[in-house]
Amino acid sequence: MTIAKPQRRHIAHFNWATLVGDLGSPEVAGFETAVPRVNALAERSPGFVWRDGNERENALAIGWPRFTEDPRCIASFSVWESPEDAARYIYKTVHGAFLRQRTRWFAEGRGGQVLWWVPAGHIPDAAEARAKVDQLAAEGPGEAVFTFAALGYGPAR
């Protein structure tokens, strides 16, 4: 799918996943240890604009039962200059190496992602993310909301 980039817009990226163990447990220790380093890399990456640094609070703030019922659910929220910038960081850096190991730390089928265009300078909030997740679930990928897979990006194989 080709998504035309509107002028003076950035891309918002919201994703969530459910950990296989409680925060602080040995099952997710490798993931927890890597988070500060991987997040710092995001902030230094080309095209990075903003990220909300509280992954657990993002999951709670979305106000949607499948995010709030499970204390193991975490979410990440960021804004990038382009989908290419976000995809480069997510799939082609050390983040991608951790992503390829996701089955060690995250429950299968208990997560997802959504991307959408935002005006340059706009910082989306949890209510906006919830609306976009709901829109993607109801309508599938299109011009308004989409996924990396819809854009042809994905994990390096």
- DSSP letters for 53-112: --HHHHHHHT--HHHHS-TTEEEEEEEES-HHHHHHHHHHSHHHHHHTTHHHHB-TTS-E
pTM of the model: 0.84
- Give the CA angle between residues 151, 154, 157 to the nearest 5°: 145
In contact, 12 and 124? CB cutoff 8 Å: yes
pLDDT for the residue numbered 121: 94
Under 8 Å between Cβ of 72 and 16: no
pLDDT by residue for the chain (157 residues), tens digit each?
666 655 699 999 998 888 899 888 999 898 888 888 888 999 999 999 999 876 545 444 454 445 556 778 888 889 999 999 999 999 999 888 888 888 899 888 778 899 999 999 999 988 898 899 999 999 999 999 999 998 888 754 3
Adjacency order of strands within the sheet including 48-52: 48-52, 73-80, 9-18, 112-119
Neighbouring residues of 50: CB distance < 8 A, sequence distance ≥ 6:
78, 79, 123
CB 99 within 8 A of CB 90: yes
Architecture of the domain delimited by 9-151: 2-Layer Sandwich (3.30)
pLDDT of residue 127: 84
